Chains A and B, each alone.
Chain A
Amino acid sequence: MYAAASDPKRARLAAVQRLLREPLGVFGVTLVVLMLFGAIFADWLSIYEPNKISPRDRFQGPSWDHLLGTDQLGRDLFSRVLHGGRIALSVALFSTLASLVIGIVLGLIAGYGPRWLDNLMLLFFDSIKSFPTVMLALALVTLFGPSLTAVVIVVVLVNVPGYARIIRTQTLALKESEFVTAALSMGASTPRILRVHVMPNVVGPLLILASMDIPVVIAIEAGMSFLGLGVRPPTPSWGAILNDGFTAIRDTPWIVLAGGLPIIITTLGFTFLGETLRDVFDPRLKGRG
C-alpha cells in the first residue's frame, strides 16, 4: 500500500517507462495528446470562425475546403469540433479537479471525524448517488438554467460521493495506525495529522480512478449538451453538434460523425490511458472499475 513507492522520483520514472511499453498505453497517450493538441491550438488550426453562419454553404459534404463538411447553418464543422474539444476537455479537467478536491476534503472529514458526522455524511453521499445522473441534470438545469456551470455541478455531484468514500475508508484504516497515534502523542493538531500523515497515504489510488473517470465526464458534458442542458447555442460542443446533425441524419450523416467521432476517440484515449496507468501504478486494482 504505502510502502510501494520507495524513491518517488525513480519509481515515477520507472512507471512512465512501463506505461510506454504497453501498446494500449501508447495508443491511449497518442489519442489524448492528439485531442489536447487540437483543443489547445484550435484557434490556429481552424480556418473558419466556428460560429460564423454562411447560409450558402449549408449541408456541404467533406472537402478540402471543409474537412468535415458544414452543418445546417453553413458553419465549418472542423472548426467547431476543435473548439468543442476545448470545452469538453476543460470541463472534464476542471470538474474532475473540483471533484477531487471536494471528495478528498469530505472523505478525510468523514473518516477522521466523529462517528455521527461520518454517518451523516455517508447518508448524504448515498442520497446523491441514488439519483440517476440524467434526473440530477434535469433537476439542476430546471433550477439554474442550461450552462457550463450546470454541467460542472452535475459532474461534481456525481463524482464526489465515490471519491469521498474511497478516501474515507482508507482514512478510517489509518486513523488507528501507530504512526498517527505517534503524531497525536507528540501533540500534532488534527489538520497537521490529516495533511502530513493521512493524505499522502490515501490519494494515490484515487488519482488513478479519477483519470479513468474523465471519459465519463466527457460523456456527461456531451450528453447534457445534446439534450440542450449544457452549453447554449451557438457555442460549439460535441454534444450540440451531434444534436444539430441528428435531425438531418438521413441526408447528411457527416454532421453526426463529426460530433460523434471525437467523443469516441477521446473517451477511448482516456480509458486506455487510465487503465494502463492503473495497472502500472497499482496492480492490486487490476480488473476493477
Chain B
Amino acid sequence: MTAILEVKYLEVTFRVGPMMRRQDLLGVAGVSFDVNPGETFALVGESGSGKTTLARAVNGLQPISAGSVTFQGQRVDTLSVREMKPLRRDMAMMFQDPVGSLSPRMKVGDLVTEAFRIHRVEADLQSETERLLSLVGLTMDFAERFPHQLSGGQARRVGVARAIALNPKLVIADEPTAGLDVSVQGEVLNLLGELRERLGLAMLIITHNLHVVHHVADRMAVMYLGRFVETGPTEEVFSAPAHPYTAALLSANPEPDPDKAQDRITLPSEVPSLLARPEGCEFHTRCPWAKDKCRKVVPDATAINGRRVACHYPLDEGARPPPKKEPS
C-alpha cells in the first residue's frame, strides 16, 4: 500500500531576533513519517514541540527549509500557491480555535459550502449544506446562524463539515478537541471516527491529549524539541513506551481509575530553549536515566519491532522504575 502522505527529513527554520543578532531556530528538526490511506496518525508533544508547525508545513502554509512532503505521490513543498490549489481539495485542515477559525461575518451555510465556491465545484449548494450539516449532526436551522451564535462544540462540528465538504483523502486536525469540555470532546472524537469509517479518510491528528490519541490513532509519534523521539503503533507505544520521554508523558496522563497504581515519572527542570539545544541526546537534561553517553552522543532513531526510538538505552517491557534522584 502506498502512503498518501510521505514526509521526509522535514525541517522548518524560523529567523528570530533583531537584525544584527539574527539566529536560526529549528522549529521542526528533521522529521520523517508517512500516513497510509484510511489510517489515523497522531502527533503528540508538549506545547512548543513543533506539532502545529509541522502540520502547517505539511499543508503548505509554512515554508520548509529542508526535506520533502509528498502527497498522493506528488511533491508539494516545491509547488506554488496556484499549483497547490487543486491538491487542497484532497487535503483539508482543521484549526485549533473552533470559533476563531470560522469567518465571523459568514453564515454557517456559506461557511460549510465555501470549498465548493473556492474550487468552483458545480453542486446544489442548498442540498449540500443539508447533507454536510446532517453528517456532523446539525440541523438545517444552523445554516442561518453566525459563528458567534454557536457553542464551541457546534462550531467544531461546523469546522468538521467544512473540512469534509469535498470528500478529501486526508484531514489534518490540529487539536480537534481544544477548547471543548470533556463530554463534547468525546462527541467530536466519535464523530471523527465515524466519518473516517464512512468516508475512508486518512487523518493526521495533532494533540497534547493522550486520551485522544489512544481513542482514535492507529499509529503515533511523540515529538520533543521538534524531533520524533518515538514512533509506533498506538497500542504498543501505550502498553510499553520505549523512550523515557514517552514513558514520562504516559505516566503523567491522568488515569480515571483511582485504584490503579500510579507511578509518576516527574521530569526535572524546564524544556530547553530551541535556541540552546542540549548536546548529545536532547532529552538528557531531563531524563532520569541519563548516562554519560547521552550527554555526548546524539542517538539515532533505531527500529525496534516496527517502532523507531531515538534513545541509547530504550526502556524494556514493563519500564524500570526511574532511579532515585541523588541528593545534590
Residues of A within 8 A of B (CB): 2-3, 6-7, 177-179, 181-189, 192, 196-197, 200-201
Contact = CB atoms under 8 A, between A and B. Distances in A.
Contacts of A178: 95-97, 100-101
B101 A186 contact: no
Contacts of B73: none
B149 interface: yes
A6 B148 CA distance: 8
Contact of A185 (B88, B97, B104, B119): B88
B95 A181 contact: yes
Contacts of B250: none
Contacts of A177: 100
B286 to A, nearest CB: 32
Given A178-B100, A183-B114, A185-B59, A200 B105 contact: yes
Interface string B77-104: 0000000111011001101110011111
Contacts of A188: 114, 118
Contact of B88 (A7, A187, A201): A187
A200 B105 CA distance: 7
B146 interface: yes
A193 to B, nearest CB: 10
Contacts of B97: 178
Interface in B260-285: none
Contacts of A3: 104, 148
Question: Which secondary structure characterizes the binding site on chain A?
Answer: helix
Contact of A201 (B104, B114, B148, B162): B104
Given A6-B146, A187-B118, A188-B118, A179 B103 contact: yes
Contacts of B199: none
Given A6-B148, A186-B92, A187-B88, A192 B118 contact: yes
B61 A185 contact: yes
Contacts of A200: 105
Contacts of B96: 178
B195 to A, nearest CB: 18
B118 A179 contact: no
A182 B97 CA distance: 11
Which of A7, A178, A184, A189 neighbours the largest number of chain B CB atoms within 10 Å of its CB? Answer: A178
Contacts of B103: 179, 182-183, 196-197
B115 interface: yes
B104 A187 contact: no
A181 B118 contact: no
Contacts of A181: 61, 95, 101
Given A3-B148, A187-B84, A192-B118, A179 B61 contact: no
A238 to B, nearest CB: 40
Contacts of B16: none
B106 interface: yes
A144 B162 CA distance: 54
A184 B61 contact: yes
27 contacts: A2-B104, A2-B105, A6-B149, A7-B146, A178-B96, A178-B97, A178-B101, A179-B102, A181-B101, A182-B93, A182-B95, A182-B101, A182-B103, A183-B103, A185-B59, A186-B92, A186-B114, A186-B118, A186-B162, A187-B84, A187-B85, A187-B86, A187-B89, A196-B103, A196-B106, A197-B103, A197-B106
Contacts of B92: 185-186
Interface string B137-173: 0000000001011000000000000100000000000
A202 B136 CA distance: 31
Which of A6, A177, A185, A197 neighbours the largest number of chain B CB atoms within 10 Å of its CB? Answer: A185
Nearest to B146: A6
